[in-house]
Every structure is written in C-alpha cells, then in structure tokens.
Amino acid sequence: MDYLKIKGQNNLNGTIKISGAKNAALPLLTSTILASNKVEISNLPNVVDIRTLLKLLEMLGATFYHQDTDMSIDTSKLDKTIATYDIVKTMRASILVLGPLLARFGHCEVSLPGGCAIGQRPVDLHLKALETMGANIEIKNGYIVATAKDGLQGATIVFDKVTVTGTENIVMAAALANGTSTLINCAKEPEVVQLCEVLRDAGVAIEGIGTNTLTIVGTNRKLLEFKPFKIIPDRIEAGTYLCVGAITNSILKIEDVIAEHLEAILIKFEEMGFMILKEENAITICPANKVKPVNIVTTEYPGFPTDMQAQFMALATMADGVSVIDEKLFENRFMHVSELIRMGADIKLNGTVATITGTPKELLGTDVMATDLRASSALVIAALVAKNETTIHRIYHLDRGYDRLEEKLSSIGANITRDKE
C-alpha cells in the first residue's frame, strides 16, 4: 500500500495546470451508453475513479482507446446490463450507469454502491424518480433490479432534496424516455450543466440548463449521435491547490480553470485576507499580511462546496482567530479532524459544527491516516506547513480524485515523495 512523505515549510512558487473534472467525467462517460456512435472525449483526468468506471463499461461491452487525456469510446455493441458488486463497491458513482442502462435496454441490475464513508447518500431519490417514469424496482441480494419493458415514460419528478448524481441519472434516463419529463429541484453544479449541454448537442431537447428545473423531451429509445467534447476543469482540484498557495503564503498561479465555477471559494479566500487575481482561464493567489478567521457553511452549488470543507479547515489552522465550519450536507465528513489534531491543530466538534482556533505554534509532522478523498488532500495541505516530516497513509483515497498530485506539488517546490509500506 502506498503512502506519502512530506517535509514541510518549503518555499513554494510557480504554476499548476488543472486537470479535467473527475465529477464531470464520470457522468459523461456513463452517458455514452446512450450513444449510437464512437464518442471522442478530451481532457480526461488520469485518476483511479475514471479507470474503475472504464473497467465497468468494458465489462458491459464497451471498447475504448485511451491516450494521455484523450479517449475514443464505443458503446454501440453493449451486450450486458449487470453492474457487479466487485466494481460498484469501490466507487459510489457507478450508480450512474443505472439510468442510461435502464433507458436503453429496459432492464438492468446494479449493485448497491460503496465509495467514501462520509455519510449516508441513499439512492432512494434515484429509484423513486425511475418508478415515477414507469420502472419496476426491486432490491434483491444487494442489487437494484430495474425493469421497464416498454421503455421509460416522460414524467414530472420533484426531487425531495438536491442530489447531484440523482439529477444526472434521471437526466440520462429522460433523454431516451418516451415523452417529456420535467425535473424539479435539480442540482445546478457545473458538472450537471455540462452533462445537459453534451446531451443537448447530441440531439436531446433540454430546456432550463443551469437552473433547478429541467424539461427534457426523450427520443423514445432512439440512440444519440454524440459530438466530440472536452471535460471542464476540476474546480475542486483548483480550490485545493489554491489552499496550498494560501496555507504556505505563496504566490501560486493555477491555469486551465473557469473562475466562475469557483466564486464561492474565491470569496472565502478574500475574506481571509488573500489577494485573488483573475485572468482568462487562470487564477493567481497572493499572500495575506495576516490570515483572518472565516465562517463557512457548506451547501449546494453555487454555495460553498462540501468537497472544499476539509481543505479550508486545514487552512483555518493558520488563521489569527477562531473559524467556524458548519457541514450541512454530510453528517460524517469530519473524519479528518482527529488527524489534524494529531498534528497539533486546535479543533472542537459539536455535531455538524467545527470550531478551529488558529494557533501561533507550528503544526508538527507525524503519521496520519487518510479517511476519504478530500480528507486526504487536507492532510497534504497541512503537511506542507508542518515542522519536520509527515507520513500520510492510505492514500488510495487521494488517488481516486487527484491527477499526478506529487508531480504537480514537486513542480512548485514541495518536498513530497511516494513510497510503499
């Protein structure tokens, strides 16, 4: 099992290029199940979650050619509709094959998902929506068995709560349904927007893209002609590296980024005293004279993302004062707190609220353990300013979502190496 060794307190400076967004690439890859043609994709990130999903698509009968960040994938000859437990257990996003498989074939079996242990993320919203569209859903031996012999039917669906993967799954299902679907209380994340745009460009009539209400006219199981597309930049990776620049009080430029997707994050950096310089496709963070404490409440886009909460908690340990972070979306997303405390952070938890007292004393390097994807990056961020060496174990979590992290950090002066236990 791999681990990272980081010697902190190095001077950092330079430019980091942001990779394609994992959370956009996953639904876009599953959407190719709806394609009649070979689909050309560019800016695909090289992370474990992508490789896992490609393995699943291959098991279903897809073929693909992959070179660097470019891919050509052909799902026209899919002949299987079972997503097995051994794949799905490692990545919750595998549930995204449910909607397109059912819409195309009228039957599928998908194992109940696994993934990061950050709290309950039930798939009941997905299943309820599919039932509204005429599907018969049963849970058998840990599998979702879904059937729609005559195809899915357009329907009006109201999501009881905002769900990103739920919205994506039902958008893909509605694309091949018979009739018009109206989806209400949809997620508005940039990753959802790109999925809708790609399906629209493939011939699906979709109105309301970027809003919380989508109207989709299905093709009645006619497969789509996809045009080539490029994965949008990863806004969470961008925010993570901006936190690297902030905590080390460095001048750091990130390129290949869409600033509009990062507005809620950039506002918090400015509240903490950092200067943000925006250019077309680039953002530079400049040092603060004094790092001010911050109050953060996680919420759905365009609010502050839960996927940046852990990284800002690490940054808040350097603030001059008390910061408060209220995690509204996932009840178990503070597992990194105990590891940051091991490094000397002063953090108190009360339910979903974390209070971080920035300490003038230095964080101290030690052995810590990653517990989920974003917690891993928070530990890396903290280790970059810690005195002495930090060893981060179980970094397979990190590899699920960060493309060439050691290489990118080393390029700006970080002392970081990967080794095996």
Provide the pLDDT confidence category of residue 334 given band limits of 50, 70 and 90.
Answer: confident
Largest CA distance in the chain: 66
Model confidence pLDDT, tens digit, residues 372-406? 888 899 999 999 999 999 999 999 889 989 999 99
pLDDT at position 112 is 82
Residues marked active site are found at 116
Average pLDDT over residues 271-293: 96
Average pLDDT over residues 166-190: 98
Model confidence pLDDT, tens digit, residues 5-59? 999 999 999 999 999 999 999 999 999 999 999 999 999 999 999 999 999 999 9
Average pLDDT over residues 283-293: 96
Q: Taking 70 as the threshold, does the pLDDT of residue 361 lie above it?
A: no
Distance between CA 392 and CA 407 in Å, rounded?
16
Q: Taking 80 as the threshold, does the pLDDT of residue 359 lie above it?
A: no
Model confidence pLDDT, tens digit, residues 221-255? 999 999 999 999 999 999 999 999 999 999 999 99
CB 370 within 8 A of CB 394: yes
Provide the pLDDT confidence category of residue 193 given band limits of 50, 70 and 90.
Answer: very high
End-to-end CA distance of the chain: 6
CB 418 within 8 A of CB 393: no
Q: Taking 50 as the threshold, does the pLDDT of residue 338 lie above it?
A: yes
Q: Taking 80 as the threshold, does the pLDDT of residue 341 lie above it?
A: yes
Model confidence pLDDT, tens digit, residues 68-86? 999 999 999 999 999 988 8
pLDDT at position 332 is 63
Average pLDDT over residues 286-292: 95
pTM of the model as a whole: 0.95
pLDDT at position 340 is 95
